[in-house]
Structure 1
Amino acid sequence: MDFVFEYTSFLAKTVTLVVAILIVLAAAASLRSKGRRKNAGQLQVSKLNDFYKALRERLEQSLLDKDRLKALRKEQGKALKKEKKKPADAKSRVYVLDFDGDIKASATESMRHEITALLTLATPKDEVVLRLESGGGMVHSYGLASSQLARIRQAGIPLTICIDKVAASGGYMMACIGNKIISAPFAILGSIGVVAQLPNVNRLLKKHDIDFEVLTAGEYKRTLTVFGENTEKGREKFQEDLDITHELFKNFVARYRPQLAIDEVATGEVWLGMAALDKQLVDELKTSDEYLADRAKVAEVFHLHYSERKSLQERVGLAASGSVDRLLLSWWSRLTQQRFW
């Protein structure tokens, strides 16, 4: 038993030390980055046509005998020569972006640069495809993400949104900007609503004779609080703010998808892709893989990804601080008055 106790004690000390080191590294990385300009990012571009071609050729090599494979390669060579004789701008281009949304819509930082880059070359005969996955999050964060996508529409470039898993709440707010929305049959869509929640421990504090004062300048600077005593007037004002935000949300969706019966779908409900098609929340049922493979037959398809260059110290620091941030954000979002799409 002594051995087990000593080992457990040693393990606890080791874990404590490792956590302390990670926190110190995170703090050092944070302080270092504040005093200087961020490292320049890098735009990575890959041609998906080449990816699909490599898949096909690998399968052909495995399944066809030598004579059939040789004849096929000869035909493909002729087709390639004919293709090269066409004018360089004969084929349209498809620019593919990815958005994997968290509660803060953190992917907006990369997407904004990807959009800026493609807008320097894209023309109305091209297309932008966004593979979108998000269950929504903070109002202001998804508002900015949607505004970035609106730049594509304003430039007159067709925008297609592909949803394989989920685009709900703030995610659907982004999706509705697309000229066309394509969904997998069982993807989750909708949730056109607004929610805010917080606990109140005022009665618990009173039970233990603990006073909590909330001082404000401005009648509605603070409507509901976690620790103070909430009033009916504060609740009414808070609900009014939610209703206003919901109305703005509905108007935004209706602007880009006027075919919707907006009052019927803006109830906060969600639908699977097949039902969403009947509600006109989407235009077509298809996976993003199927859509892009079809587009690659007639267009040049490029995948764009913007990433920040980070030093080893920053990567270690961000890994440590990121875990802490996610934990704190999850907790704090339940205690504050953040509004969520």
Structure 2
Amino acid sequence: MELIADFAVNYGLFLAKALTVVIAIGLVAGWILSMIAQARAERDGDQLKITHVNERLERMADTLNATLLNDSERKARAKRKKVEDKQRRKAEKLGKRHKPARLFVLDFDGDIRASAVESLRDEITAVLQVVEPEDEVMIRLESAGGMVHSYGLAASQLARLRDAGVRLTICVDRLAASGGYMMACVGERVVAAPFSIIGSIGVVAQIPNFHRLLKDKQIDFEMHTAGDYKRTLTVFGENTEEGRAKFREELEDTHGLFKHFVARYRPSLDINRVATGEHWYGSQALDLALVDEVATSDDVMLIAARDGRDVFTVAVHHKSGLLSRIAEQSRLAISRSLGESGLAKVVHRPQ
């Protein structure tokens, strides 16, 4: 009887363990499937939002006039507007009214990784499918720069518009430095607010080294590479003068590419004068030909609307779940703490 009892107990424990493992595997599998489903939902849930700026401006004007004008003035304005609307509809009916040119407004708020390029590329793709020869695209740009390859891609997205023959205006209300200016210079017209920060055409790279600390603690660090310059500087190993020289050479090469890119789109620039890593305010940047006009993006849109052009803001919103939002907030916090007003050369290359 004792043997049977022991067998029953052991068998029961075995079943409990097996059941626990099965449940654990089921939970993990369920979690993975839910994450995949969530990722698909987020991908398929992207939304393209278009806002007609003219209507918003008109509502603002109507609200102000309702307060500022007396009864006779409001009636006269309403009568005049009614006549204008009637004439416009009649012209459209007779086919005499030309379709007004449009101004498409896109936003780019850059971090160190130029993460906003994911939305920018979709917005540009959408606009390119509907843009007509008389239309124009305006980018409201703000960025202190970041990684070379990331901002190279962002600038290339803007170049798609120029290559397609689309008039491109870049508006900088606060900041377009380094990688931000790499993007801005692609514009056919660059407009900057008077005290916006412009320039910083330079490259920066920095890396800590813990070799002496490890040596003091008698901790060995080994790194094996194939290729003389697979690694030039390291975090834990002992850096050599040869490695430092090669690293500085790579920085100079990157800076040369940056200068060549800016000079291609802004041939009137004295590139050697402005490619020192310095930055200037908008009014100073105008004197240096870094920008073409001193104004705000609001002025550009308001003038376009007054000229009878239809102004639309275009934005792609990528839906994200809780985990994605937490990761994004963490990334932004790190970007703010590490951000530099200079293109950042990637120190660690892919294996």
Q: Would you say same fold, with TM above 0.5? A: yes
Quick check: 2:203–2:345 contact (8 Å CA) kept in 1?
A: no
Partner in structure 2 of residue 122 of structure 1: 131
Alignment of 1:277-296 (within 5 A): 277-296=286-305
Partner in structure 1 of residue 13 of structure 2: none
Quick check: 1:198–1:337 contact (8 Å CA) kept in 2?
A: no
Alpha-carbon shift at residue 67 of structure 1 (Å): 1.8
Partner in structure 1 of residue 193 of structure 2: 184
Quick check: 1:196–1:338 contact (8 Å CA) kept in 2?
A: yes
Q: CA RMSD in A?
A: 2.3
How many residues end up aligned between the 2 structures?
309
Partner in structure 1 of residue 228 of structure 2: 219
Partner in structure 1 of residue 50 of structure 2: 45
Q: Does residue 300 of the first structure (1) align with residue 310 of the second (2)?
A: yes
Quick check: 1:49–1:301 contact (8 Å CA) kept in 2?
A: yes
SS of 2:328 mapped into structure 1:
helix
Partner in structure 2 of residue 338 of structure 1: 346
Name the CA shift for 1:29/1:150 in 2 (closer, same or farther; >3 Å). Answer: farther
1:333 and 1:164 mapped to 2: Cα distance?
Answer: 19
Quick check: 2:232–2:247 contact (8 Å CA) kept in 1?
A: yes
SS of 1:121 mapped into structure 2:
coil
Alpha-carbon shift at residue 33 of structure 1 (Å): 5.8
Alpha-carbon shift at residue 333 of structure 1 (Å): 8.6
2:36 pairs with 32, 39, 42, which one? 32
1:67 pairs with 57, 65, 72, which one? 72
Alpha-carbon shift at residue 32 of structure 1 (Å): 2.9
Name the CA shift for 1:265/1:29 in 2 (closer, same or farther; >3 Å). Answer: farther
CA-to-partner distance for each residue in 1:201-224, whole Å, 9 max, x for gaps? 111111111111111111111100
TM-score (norm 1): 0.85
2:66 and 2:339 mapped to 1: Cα distance?
Answer: 54
Name the CA shift for 1:193/1:111 in 2 (closer, same or farther; >3 Å). Answer: same
Partner in structure 2 of residue 95 of structure 1: 104
Alpha-carbon shift at residue 31 of structure 1 (Å): 4.2
1:270 and 1:30 mapped to 2: Cα distance?
Answer: 48
Q: Does residue 54 of the first structure (1) align with residue 59 of the second (2)?
A: yes
Name the CA shift for 1:221/1:99 in 2 (closer, same or farther; >3 Å). Answer: same
Gaps of 5+ in 2: 1-27
Name the CA shift for 1:318/1:247 in 2 (closer, same or farther; >3 Å). Answer: same
Greater C-alpha radius of gyration: 2
Alpha-carbon shift at residue 41 of structure 1 (Å): 1.4
TM-score (norm 2): 0.83
2:57 and 2:139 mapped to 1: Cα distance?
Answer: 19
Q: Does residue 203 of the first structure (1) align with residue 207 of the second (2)?
A: no
1:28 and 1:273 mapped to 2: Cα distance?
Answer: 50
Alpha-carbon shift at residue 338 of structure 1 (Å): 2.0
